[in-house]
Amino acid sequence: MDGINVIKNESKELILEFENGDTTIPDLIAAELADESDVIFTGVTKDHPETGKPRLVIKTNKKKASDVLEKALESIDEQISEIKKGINAKQ
């Protein structure tokens, strides 16, 4: 995976830019964050559909945005582990 640049890292706002141009991972993270009660906004932006780099934007009410992101990533990791277990059980 290509690099990720931190564009903004404040207590209640975090913006990450993904170098590879693909929105799959940022969209997955944004979808997971949408279920978090303290997140007031999450979304993926891209300056240009073909050449722009996607940016994941996270805004929170009380919790640190980086903490909320970490929790979402842990949840995604757990979900992926369950999928792997299911696949391995079928073999």
DSSP type of residue 7: E
**pLDDT at residue 1, as a whole number:** 46
pTM, entire model: 0.88
Which of the pair, 2 or 90, is modelled with greater confidence? Answer: 90
**pLDDT at residue 47, as a whole number:** 84
57-90 in b/e burial notation, b at 16+ Cβ within 10 A?
bbbbeeebbbebbeebeeeeeeeeeeeeeeeeee
Please state the rounded mean pLDDT for residues 16-39.
Answer: 95
**pLDDT at residue 17, as a whole number:** 97
Q: What is the pLDDT of residues 59-73, one digit of tens each?
A: 999 999 999 999 999
**pLDDT at residue 89, as a whole number:** 85
